[in-house]
Amino acid sequence: MSVPVQPVQVSSPSSRNQITNFVRQSRPRLAQWAPVPLRLIVGLGFIEHGWLKLQRGPEVFAAVLQALGTPFPHFAAWATIATELLGGVAILAGAFVRLSSMPLAVVMLTAIFTVHWQFGFSSVKLLAVTTAGPQFGKPGYEVALLYLACLAALVVGGPGPWAVDNVLKARSRR
């Protein structure tokens, strides 16, 4: 004997409407938080890059810059390290975002045109998979463009909540 199977409705049209309405109403409140993950990843990324250059020794980075034909390579090495470290901390904290984005953008544009451009767009170039693991080619300018896009979004859209810039703005209104 077979039992007729009735179709089960997982959600009624009214519950779907409730969810849709909730999402629509929540979007403006949630949108204000969009800059926070950008600040976290961009700030930490710049700090990491600056810290690695400092750990390896500024003279090692200066030698790379000299090989690229950069004028005043030792000064440029220290300026880049300071920009990445201080700018990264500023972006992470949401402090002076517009101001600190400018030198960080210069660092990224310099990296694109002096190092990464010749390797094309893609940052991931899988050459082979060996017993030692995957082997990758030289990275293109894709990631540097992502950093620039995030910086531009922060400059245009603001640093979002939990930002030093907001505290400074509130104090200046008093």
- DSSP secondary structure string, 53-84? HHHH-HHHHHHHHHHTT-SSHHHHHHHHHHHH
Looking at residue 42, its pLDDT comes to 98
> In whole angstroms, what is the distance from residue 74 CA to residue 59 CA?
7
> In whole angstroms, what is the distance from residue 24 CA to residue 6 CA?
33
Looking at residue 148, its pLDDT comes to 98
Looking at residue 4, its pLDDT comes to 66
> In whole angstroms, what is the distance from residue 42 CA to residue 104 CA?
10
Looking at residue 10, its pLDDT comes to 57
Whole-prediction pTM value?
A: 0.83
Looking at residue 169, its pLDDT comes to 93
Domain regions of the chain by residue span: 36-158
Residue 86's Cα: distance from chain center in Å? 15
Phi, psi of 123, rounded to the nearest 5 degrees = -90, -20
Look up residue 122 and give its amino acid.
S
Q: Please count the helices (runs of H) and the strands (runs of E) in the chain.
A: 7, 2
Looking at residue 159, its pLDDT comes to 97
> In whole angstroms, what is the distance from residue 140 CA to residue 53 CA?
19
3-state class of 139 per DSSP?
coil
- pLDDT tens sequence for the chain (174 residues): 566 666 655 566 677 788 888 888 888 888 999 999 999 999 999 999 999 999 999 999 999 999 999 999 999 999 999 999 999 999 999 999 999 999 999 999 999 999 999 999 999 999 999 999 999 999 999 999 999 999 999 999 999 999 999 999 999 988
